[in-house]
């Protein structure tokens, strides 16, 4: 595995900057302002989110399954699929933290420890680990099953001990899918157990009302709670401002890039099939594409190193 350090210099402060510390600052020292992380599913969508100026990104597992494997979010993605994808995304801009989906942690305590260490070395700043069984599914589908609270606790404990062993600041987000399976009270017990095992942030998957959102934030305080804003899933749609008022501290929008991509791609391809025209905007030539994915920066690196080949691109 390529080892990429998430460190760059932090001009003016004298202390080394890491995206993991940056994420901790955004969550814990940001005057209660909610962290909004749009879902990105590949390098291109991540570059667009960076261009728009988000200060945190979220690598969706559902989007990774769809884009990297062409499969549904049903536990197809392995640790290597996810880690490799996360590493590429996390290192596009070494100043912007990436929270990445880590599903169930991909096995028993040793595998969870390995997952945490791999994500850390790949430059990921935060990861979420859940209590679904290994053959998991999207949290907004029916028929989910969860492991026991003891097994879930051992996943979170394994992650937190691994973090300590390797001296990482990665943010551990404990997710429970128990709400649909065994109800709110059991889900709360699982999240409380996860905090005792070292989770920094908790994530109650599939909340079904705003009131439930407010309640979980109150019960779990002062532990920050993440809201998963899957539009048209189990959770009512909310703006970041509303979520912040309910007490949430992080909000992910897993489908923020992949849903518009679906409609735009379909429209272009239908146009091509039906009348031979893609309808691509005039401004979108090769340069626009490559500038979106770092052409200028690459030219600069080449020029600074004394290269001449990219000057006339
Ligand atoms: C958050 C999530 O884990 C993701 O992969 O983005 C999914 C999103 C989805 O499939 O709707 C989840 O909520 O399970």
Note the pLDDT of residue 2: 42
**Residue 165 carries which DSSP code?**
H
The atom of ligand 1 lying closest to the CA of 206 is 13
Q: Is 179 in the pocket of ligand 1 (CB under 6 A)?
A: no
Note the pLDDT of residue 239: 97
Q: Is 103 in the pocket of ligand 1 (CB under 6 A)?
A: no
User: Measured between alpha carbons, how far is 293 from 51 in angstroms, rounded to an integer?
Assistant: 9
For the packed helices 109-121 and 149-166, what is the interaxial angle rounded to 10 degrees?
40
User: Measured between alpha carbons, how far is 60 from 40 in angstroms, rounded to an integer?
Assistant: 6
User: Measured between alpha carbons, how far is 167 from 161 in angstroms, rounded to an integer?
Assistant: 10
Note the pLDDT of residue 210: 97
- Testing ligand 1's pocket by substitution, the residue of 61, 177, 262 carrying the most ligand atoms inside 8 A of its CB is 61
Q: What angle do CA 7, 10, 16 make, to 5 degrees?
A: 50
The C-alpha R_g of the chain, in whole angstroms, comes to 20
pTM confidence score: 0.94
**Phi/psi of residue 201, nearest 5 degrees:** -140, 150
Cα of 185 vs centre of ligand 1, distance in Å, is 22
Q: Is 75 in the pocket of ligand 1 (CB under 6 A)?
A: no
User: Measured between alpha carbons, how far is 258 from 296 in angstroms, rounded to an integer?
Assistant: 26
Positions annotated as catalytic residues are: 58, 73, 101, 103, 128, 130, 138, 175, 205, 228
Q: Considering only CA atoms, which residue is closest to atom 10 of ligand 1?
A: 138
SS (H, E, C) 71-106: CCCCCCCCHHHHHHHHHHHHCCCCCCCEEEECCCCC
**Residue where the block lists tokens 């997710």:** 175
Task: Output the DSSP codes for 122-156.
Answer: TT--EEEEE-B-SS---TTSSS--B--HHHHHHHH
pLDDT in tens, 28-38: 998 889 999 99
Structure tokens at 226: 């993440």
Q: Considering only CA atoms, which residue is closest to atom 3 of ligand 1?
A: 61
User: Measured between alpha carbons, how far is 212 from 108 in angstroms, rounded to an integer?
Assistant: 31
CB neighbours of 295 closer than 8 A, spacing ≥ 6?
Answer: 287, 313
Q: Is 61 in the pocket of ligand 1 (CB under 6 A)?
A: yes
**Residue 281 carries which DSSP code?**
-
> Euclidean distance between the first and final Cα of the chain, in Å?
32
User: Measured between alpha carbons, how far is 170 from 109 in angstroms, rounded to an integer?
Assistant: 17
Note the pLDDT of residue 170: 98
ipTM: 0.97
Q: Is 254 in the pocket of ligand 1 (CB under 6 A)?
A: yes
Low-confidence ranges of the chain (pLDDT < 50): 1-5
CB neighbours of 286 closer than 8 A, spacing ≥ 6?
Answer: none
Question: Distances from the Cα of 195 to the Cαs of 69, 201, 205, 223, in angstroms?
Answer: 33, 8, 16, 8
Residues above pLDDT 90, as percent of the chain? 93
CB neighbours of 60 closer than 8 A, spacing ≥ 6?
Answer: 39, 40, 41, 101, 252, 254, 255, 258
């Amino acid at each position: 595995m390529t080892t990429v350090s998430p460190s760059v210099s932090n001009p003016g402060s004298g202390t080394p900057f890491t995206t993991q510390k940056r994420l901790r600052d955004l969550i814990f020292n940001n005057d209660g302002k909610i962290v909004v992380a749009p879902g990105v599913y590949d390098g291109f969508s991540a570059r667009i989110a960076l261009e728009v100026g988000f200060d945190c990104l979220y690598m969706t597992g559902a989007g990774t399954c769809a884009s990297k494997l062409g499969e549904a979010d049903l536990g197809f993605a392995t640790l290597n699929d996810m880690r490799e994808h996360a590493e590429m995304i996390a290192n596009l801009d070494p100043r912007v933290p990436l929270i990445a989906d880590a599903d169930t942690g991909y096995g028993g305590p040793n595998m969870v420890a390995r997952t945490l260490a791999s994500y850390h070395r790949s430059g990921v700043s935060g990861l979420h680990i859940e209590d679904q069984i290994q053959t998991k599914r999207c949290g907004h589908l029916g028929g989910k099953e969860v492991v026991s609270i003891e097994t879930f606790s051992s996943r979170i404990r394994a992650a937190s001990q691994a973090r300590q062993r390797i001296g990482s600041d990665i943010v551990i987000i404990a997710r429970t899918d128990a709400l649909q399976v065994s109800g709110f009270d059991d889900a709360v017990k699982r999240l409380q157990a996860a905090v005792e095992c070292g989770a920094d942030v908790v994530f109650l998957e599939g909340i079904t009302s705003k009131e439930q959102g407010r309640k979980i934030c109150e019960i779990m305080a002062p532990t920050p709670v993440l809201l998963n804003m899957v539009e048209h899933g189990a959770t009512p749609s909310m703006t970041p401002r509303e979520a912040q008022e309910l007490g949430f501290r992080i909000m992910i929008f897993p489908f923020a890039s992949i849903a518009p991509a679906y409609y735009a791609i379909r429209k272009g391809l239908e146009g091509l099939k039906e009348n031979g025209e893609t309808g691509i905007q005039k401004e979108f030539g090769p340069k626009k594409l490559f500038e979106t994915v770092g052409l200028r920066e690459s030219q600069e690196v080449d020029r600074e190193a004394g290269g001449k080949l990219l000057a006339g691109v």
